[in-house]
Amino acid sequence: MMQIGVIGAGSWGTTLADLLASKGFPVTLWAFESDLVERMQATHENDLYLPGFTLSDNLTFTNDVAAAVGGKGLVLFVPPSQVLRILLQQALPHFSEDVIIVSASKGVENNSLLPMSDIFNQLLPVTLKTRTAFLSGPSFAKEVAKRMPTAVSVAATDTDLAEQVQQIFSTEVFRVYTNSDVIGVELGGALKNVIALAAGVSDGLGYGYNTRAALITRGLAEMTRIGVAMGAEPLTFAGLAGMGDLVLTCTGDLSRNRSVGFELGRGRNLDEILNEMNMIAEGVKTTLSAYQLSCKLGVEAPLIEQMHEILYNNKEARQAVDDLMGRELKPEGA
């Protein structure tokens, strides 16, 4: 069996590692926290990020990046998006010549405004640039860990590689579709987190289903406009990595981004909210990148703009809603 390394032992990284190990693959899971590695070795449970689930016996655990990726046929990256570059740089010297690299991180890097695929393209040698694939779609870790039916997309420029990754990850309850639109699949997974924050704010303010439906629909329009400006296919945003992931994250109680937005809508301070969490809400930092990206591209994105004002300029949430509703009237397609 192909040996697999997984970088990132958050809830999603741990779940995917366990899914692959349960198929019989020998999987090495890397975690940043050395004490967590020791506990997982002893108990086969990730009590910090995925408590209550016994992990496969085919899983081993390490705090050493070289041990996680060296000699592996496939390496899966699932760290927070803002530390992907650092971990990829650490892993680079240890890759096998024919390794398959899969990314399941969702975000846009701050400052550079690069999606994850561009970070890989920047750092990987020429021989590995075409051996990358990107996994995204509506998939709460706990539901996948419970083996609830789930469908996602894997995108790659090489169709054969996408189909190979599809076969590796697919199970009787985890269905993987292939897609050739790498940037569309990536941006769908990243930008939906910003809209989920806004949906949470709406719920925290006490607004209803009408408001949430408007947010999801207009948020999808903003995601699509930014994606198309970056070369994505518009239809990708109507699929699993776009509308699918957006609906899940904007409505599900397991959504970290929606939960942060909900507390903001209730009037709580962002730092206070984040300090109470042991997992990352990617949308907070992605909002900064998404807003700057929309400005750079000249794309109108009023929801993203107002979420940026709430997070980074302490704008009152109700004022943001008033400003959105008071904008100049226009055709829906504009």
> What is the DSSP secondary structure assignment for residue 230, as one 8-state letter?
T
Phi-psi bin for 129: left (phi > 0), alpha (psi -120 to 50), beta?
alpha
Chain centre distance of CA 178: 17
The answer to whether 81 and 108 are in contact (CB under 8 A) is: yes
Longest Cα–Cα distance in the chain: 61
Q: How many CB atoms lie within 10 A of CB 214?
A: 15
- Out of 192, 285, 315, 330, the active site residue is 192
| Distance from C-alpha of 175 to C-alpha of 177, rounded to nearest angstrom | 7
Range list of H helices, the chain: 11-22, 34-43, 65-69, 84-91, 116-123, 126-129, 141-145, 159-169, 182-204, 209-229, 245-251, 256-265, 270-275, 282-297, 302-312, 317-325
Give the contacts of 120 (CB within 8 A, at least 6 positions apart): 88, 101, 103, 129, 132
CA angle 331, 332, 334 (to 5 degrees): 70
Q: How many CB atoms lie within 10 A of CB 92?
A: 14
* R_g of the chain computed on alpha carbons: 19
Range list of H helices, 92-135: 116-123, 126-129
Token pair 């700057």 is at which residue?
292
Residue 192 catalytic?
A: yes
In angstroms, the first-to-last Cα distance of the chain is 52
Q: What is the SS3 assignment for 177?
A: strand
Active site residues: 192
